[in-house]
Amino acid sequence: MLLAAREKLDHAGMTSSLRTRAVHAGRDDLTDLGVHAAPLDLSTTYPSRDSAAEAARIDAFAAGAELDGPPIYGRVGNPTVERFERALAELEGFEHGVAFASGMAAVSACLLSAVAQGKRHVVAVRPLYGCSDHLLESGLLGTEVTWATPGAVAAALRPDTGLVFVETPANPTLAEADIAELARACGDVPLAVDNTFATPVLQRPGHHGGRMVLHSATKFLGGHGDVMGGIVACDAAEAARLRQIRFATGGVLHPLAGYLLLRGLSTLPLRVNAASATAATLVSRLGEHPAVTAVHYPRIGGPLVAFEVDGDPHALIGAVRLITPAVSLGSVDTLIQHPGSISHRIVDEGDRHGAGVSDQLIRMSVGLEDVEDLWADLEQALKAL
């Protein structure tokens, strides 16, 4: 079920719905500033005549503190990006958000944070987004991964386990994991949840014990297929580590991207709820089509649909005309792709199949088109099978 629009959030002594907060989060000071649109600050550096004070601020940042005043340098921070960070953190129910140049930069920073604390072992639940799977499996960042089912996470933990990583609903099968049960199984080990598919409109992992909530902001948060970014919502201690990693590695979000992502948040609940309603209708119809052998759709709903076909999936991809045959998801237009060929091609074939990503599986991200137009396109494309 979708989270009710009237669900209340505490904000500045007032109660307001997620839909209202999505419009106002990160923009609360605009009236006092005398502007209507959030300012776009493109500065790469911030001048100061007091270099002694700047030295003190740099020392404070190195010690994990947030900077008061201008950010000194664009790799330390940016006011426009910080608006987006505050807004997403608020929607997810966290104190802090740390934005990155891409979703994978955000994942990488979380892994590096664990390694920096002497915890190089990661327990992860498949399936994950293909590049997340590859990053863990390859050990490129010095991590070692143990793959486990949700029920086996507790048994897989070791003294050097620094992170448990899960994506739910999972990419691309839409398999779901019980976040609260996973959090209990993790004990003191931080649980990182990739919430890209659900967004805070459908679930808020932090309310169920998730310690870090990740997004590929490129997807639903931006919502229009024209901006790339990533973000982690977390507590103050983790945010300090992530900011230092971002400063050292340079995976910063461009201010224009931060501006577009903040703008995208304002329509996030409307877009996700509308696309989810259309997706539910398509799920029902796909389930009755003779060329479709299985349909996967999460209990919480959402705009993502996965289905398996009897025949050549590439023929279907090539036959759509209204639907966009492309990787990625979360845009206003409907996208369709074959995970085994694109998003999860980098994953070993045996691991891919073992995680439920069959060669017949197709993933569709439903957009904002009319449901009858989308069904007409799907119906004619299914004939290609």
pLDDT value for 63? 87
Contact 211, 70 (CB under 8 A): no
Q: What amino acid occupies position 98?
A: V
Contact 209, 179 (CB under 8 A): yes
pLDDT digits (tens, 9 = 90+) for 224-240: 999 999 999 999 999 99
Q: Could you confirm whether 194 is annotated as catalytic?
A: yes
Distance CA 185, CA 191 (A): 10
Average pLDDT in the 207-218 region?
Answer: 98
Residue 241 has φ and ψ, to the nearest 5°, of: -65, -45
Average pLDDT in the 159-171 region?
Answer: 98
Catalytic residue from among 28, 75, 351, 359: 75
Q: Are strands 361-365 and 14-17 parallel, antiparallel or unpaired?
A: unpaired
Mean pLDDT (the chain, rounded): 94
Q: What amino acid occupies position 247?
A: F
pLDDT digits (tens, 9 = 90+) for 289-303: 999 999 999 999 999
Is the pLDDT at 168 greater than 90? The verdict is yes
pLDDT value for 10? 47
Q: Could you confirm whether 219 is annotated as catalytic?
A: yes
Catalytic residue from among 194, 243, 259, 352: 194
Token output for 264: 């995208």
Q: For residue 318, what are the CA distances in angstroms to 306, 308, 373?
A: 17, 16, 17
Q: What is the three-state SS of 209-254?
A: CCCEEEEECCCCCCCCCCCCCEEEEECHHHHHHHHHHHHHHCCCCC
pTM of the model: 0.94
Inter-axis angle of helices 130-138 and 103-116, nearest 10: 30
Nearest CA to 169 out of 135, 200, 128 is that of: 128
Domain boundaries, the chain: 269-382
pLDDT band at 69 (very low <50, low <70, confident <90, very high): confident
Q: What amino acid occupies position 26?
A: G
pLDDT band at 11 (very low <50, low <70, confident <90, very high): very low
Beta bridge partners of 70: none
The torsion of the CA quartet 279, 17, 169, 120, rounded to 10 degrees, works out to 150
For Cα atoms 183, 83, 229, give the angle at the middle one, nearest 5 degrees: 65
| pLDDT over 70 percentage in the chain | 96
Q: What amino acid occupies position 285?
A: R
> DSSP secondary structure string, 295-353?
EE--TT--SEEEEEESS-HHHHHHH-SSSEE-S---SSS-EEE-TTTTTTTTS-HHHHH
Q: Which CATH architecture has domain 269-382?
A: Alpha-Beta Complex (3.90)
pLDDT digits (tens, 9 = 90+) for 336-356: 999 999 889 989 899 899 989
pLDDT value for 119? 98
Is the pLDDT at 9 greater than 80? The verdict is no
Q: What is the CA radius of gyration of the chain?
A: 21
Average pLDDT in the 2-23 region?
Answer: 62
Q: Which residues are CB-contacts of 297 (< 8 A; sequence separation ≥ 6)?
A: 174, 279, 280, 283, 305, 306
pLDDT value for 297? 98
Token output for 147: 């793959």
Is the pLDDT at 186 greater than 80? The verdict is yes
Catalytic residue from among 86, 204, 219, 263: 219
Distance CA 132, CA 149 (A): 17
Catalytic residue from among 129, 204, 259, 377: 129
pLDDT value for 1? 35
Q: For residue 312, what are the CA distances in angstroms to 122, 308, 316?
A: 37, 10, 7
